[in-house]
Amino acid sequence: MLESLQWRAVGKVSIELQAIVAREAEHLVAKLLVSGVSLWRDEQYHRWDAHELSCSVRLVYFCDRVLQMDQAAWPLVHIEYDTVQLTREILLGNQDPSRAPRPDFSVLFGNAKIRVEAKRLRSSGRFPALYVRHGMARFIDGRYVSTPPHPGVMIGYVEEGDPVAIVDQINSIVQKEPTLGRTHVLNPHGITNASFVLSCHSEHGDGLRLLHFEINLQDV
C-alpha cells in the first residue's frame, strides 16, 4: 500500500502519507523486524558474542538493510541504535542527563517513535525474570515511552529452550509481581507467522501496550 503513494509536494511530506505510516506502524514494525531477523538467520545468527548488545547491533544492521534494499516500500521509516530518551525533567535541567533512559533502539515512522528493548532468554537461570523486571518494567514505569498511541516493543533472543515454554515462565513471573498480575501476561499475537519468531502482546493499562518478538536463535 505504501509503495503506491506519491509525494504530493516537492520538499514536503504528504499529510496523507504521514497518517498512513503512523496508522500502519504496528504492522510495519513487525514486518521490518521479521524481515531483518530472516536476513540475520541466513547468516546463522552470526554475532560477536552472546551479549544482547551484540545481538541488537546485528538486528539493527539487517533491519537497516531491509530499508535500504527497497526504500520505496518504506517511506519515512528509519531505525536508530542506542538513542537517549530525553525526559522533560532532563530538558528542564532538573535531572542528570547521564542517567537518561537508553532503549536498545528505536524505529521511526515519520514523527512517531517506537522504542525497542531487548533481552537474552534461556529457560534456565534468571533470564525470564530479567526480561520482566529489567525489560517490560521499563515501559510500564514510564522510563521508555513510544509516541502515543503506539506500543513499545520487547525482543527476546532465545538462546536455549522452547520459546513457548519460556513465555509460560515469563507469564508465571508476571502474575507473581506485586505491581503486575494476571492482566499483564503475554498473549499470542499472530502478527507474524514466521516459524523463527514467536509474537505476543501484553496490555498494561492507561493505553500502554507491548509487542513481544521472541527470536529463536537455535533455529538455524
Per domain, the residue ranges of the chain are 10-216
Chain mean position to CA 191 = 13
* Claim: this prediction has a pTM higher than 0.85: yes
CB 24 within 8 A of CB 114: no
CB 77 within 8 A of CB 67: yes
Instruction: Enumerate residues 6+ apart whose C-beta is below 8 A from 79.
Output: 32, 60, 63, 64, 67, 105, 106, 107, 108
The whole-number pLDDT of residue 6 equals 39
**C-alpha atoms less than 13 angstroms from C-alpha of 34 in its C-beta half-sphere:** 19
33 conformational bin, left if phi > 0, alpha if psi -120 to 50, beta if neither: alpha
The whole-number pLDDT of residue 13 equals 53
**Distance (Å) of CA 178 to CA 135, 137, 184:** 16, 12, 11
CB 153 within 8 A of CB 29: yes
- Tell me which DSSP letter residue 136 carries: I
The whole-number pLDDT of residue 191 equals 67
| Secondary structure tally for the chain: helices H, strands E | 7, 7
Cell triple for 48:
560477536
Tens digit of each residue's pLDDT, the chain (220 residues): 444 433 333 345 566 666 666 568 888 899 999 999 999 999 999 999 999 999 999 999 999 999 999 988 888 899 999 888 888 888 899 999 888 889 999 999 888 899 999 999 999 889 999 999 999 999 999 999 998 889 999 999 999 999 999 999 999 999 999 999 999 999 988 767 678 999 999 999 888 999 999 999 998 8
Q: How far apart are the first and last CA of the chain?
A: 32
Chain mean position to CA 182 = 22
Helix (H, G, I), strand (E, B) or coil at 104: coil
